[in-house]
Structure 1
């Protein structure tokens, strides 16, 4: 069995990946709060932004954490198409979950459906990302820990969507984001604890890209997207502020809105 190291850079990757998960969660919650206060295309746009933020946060969390993943006795490469597919899955299922909650008439049912969809999607994203790993040897999983990681993902997703529906104040959003970040991180590391690697030493070249060639630039790009979007959302006025300024500046136009 190869010795697995989940933090080859020390505390850097776990802390940074947690920060990414929290940032994505905070931005997603803020956008969902805005979406629920809006109507029409504005609501749809806020929900899409929320889904892309949460999806990006979760995916970046996973792969920043994977930068610190090492196995003694073998190099590690990543299959590029599968890694990109895991990002698309993360975005798509989070979008489905967020829209189920954003447009659902029956709130409890929408919450359960959205939480289940998003949780299973997050778990799929994680294990697709793991399927993209190429190394000299064979990867197997502990079924009980895999099942636990899926349960954590579904519970975390349901809690996140509940928070999006029920939490309004900035302080509460911050606390909810920290909890969500912890839940996503614990799902990831539970999934990683399930991994068993039987190394078969070989001098052959592994297919795929190294983490630094491919995942690091992609994670930096997505992380930048998160922070720039966070700044935009923080600075953009809420629906109430916009209406107040519009009616104050242009009474006629304010009346037609």
Structure 2
């Protein structure tokens, strides 16, 4: 059995993976909070998609591959099958999206959160082991069944807690604290699953096909930056509950108690015809006056 190193570059990769999971969780929770207060079905779908990409794509999938950057097996190189890697990302996003759809529509209940958590957790575990199946190396992979089951259980619990937080947490400080907790849960699931892995090298090392991690790193980083910037822009551009309340208050002020609309304010009197003649906009023109020249 080959020797496995999960921290080839020391603390850098686990620290970055935790930071990614916290960032994605924070943005995802903020987007998920908008689902419950959205005015239309289209808005709820939009915020659900953004939350799914934030949590599934950034907090879970990007964290997984950032942690895999520090994974090494002595005696063999590691490559990745790109199509399977992309499929693993889609599994994470779709699983989180379905979980949010379950808890984000209708009355919130423990049953909905539990069902959504089981489905999402199973999807997250499927993403992890699909991503592991994308590895290409000079050996065969084996897994410890007990630790695999433990990692799936952690994924289900973490997903259930995440969905519960998504529909209950509103204040910024609580969202930040929840993101920190979710980051611990996501990383705990990943490294528990990785601890179940064993590698048995082949006696004859053939050519290993696939993309190296350095090849995948640039598009993954660019995708994460694009998603994060897009999410931040969407959150900043969207009106908040306070904005909607302010707009409703101003609309109410424009209606008198009898229900009739208050007319728009009339322009101020213009006795000398400044606006009509536009003299202030033409330098050198004479100033308008009502004075009548005396007869000569």
Change (3 A) 1:225 1:246: farther
Q: Number of paired residues?
A: 253
1:209-224 matched pairs, under 5 angstroms: 209-214=211-216, 216-224=217-225
Q: Is 1:124 matched up with 2:126?
A: yes
Q: Deviations over 1:114-150 (max 9, x none)?
A: 1011100000000000000111011100000000000
What SS class does the counterpart of residue 134 from structure 1 fall into?
A: strand
Greater share of helix residues, 1 or 2?
1
What SS class does the counterpart of residue 90 from structure 1 fall into?
A: helix
Higher Rg: 2
Which of 176, 191, 194 aligns to 1:192? It is 194
Unmatched 5+ stretches in structure 2:
260-296
Q: Deviations over 1:144-166 (max 9, x none)?
A: 00000000000000000111111
Q: Decide whether the 8 Å contact of 2:79 with 2:135 is kept in 1.
A: yes
Q: Decide whether the 8 Å contact of 1:6 with 1:70 is kept in 2.
A: yes
Matches of 1:103 and 1:91 in 2, distance apart?
18
Q: Decide whether the 8 Å contact of 1:29 with 1:173 is kept in 2.
A: yes
Q: Normalising by the residue count of structure 2, what TM-score does the alignment of the two structures yield?
A: 0.81
Q: Decide whether the 8 Å contact of 1:74 with 1:201 is kept in 2.
A: no
Q: Decide whether the 8 Å contact of 2:50 with 2:231 is kept in 1.
A: no
The structural deviation recorded for 1:109 is 1.5
What is the aligned-residue RMSD (CA, Å)?
A: 2.0
What SS class does the counterpart of residue 139 from structure 1 fall into?
A: strand
Q: Deviations over 1:43-76 (max 9, x none)?
A: 2211111111111121000011111110000000
Larger RCO of the pair (alpha carbons < 8 Å, separation 6+) = 1
Match of 1:5 in 2: 5
Change (3 A) 1:194 1:245: same
Q: Is 1:159 matched up with 2:177?
A: no
Structure 1 runs (4+) deviating above 3 angstroms are 245-253
Matches of 1:201 and 1:136 in 2, distance apart?
9
What SS class does the counterpart of residue 193 from structure 2 fall into?
A: helix
Q: Decide whether the 8 Å contact of 1:120 with 1:154 is kept in 2.
A: yes
Matches of 2:46 and 2:210 in 1, distance apart?
36
Matches of 2:55 and 2:250 in 1, distance apart?
35
Q: Is 1:143 matched up with 2:141?
A: no
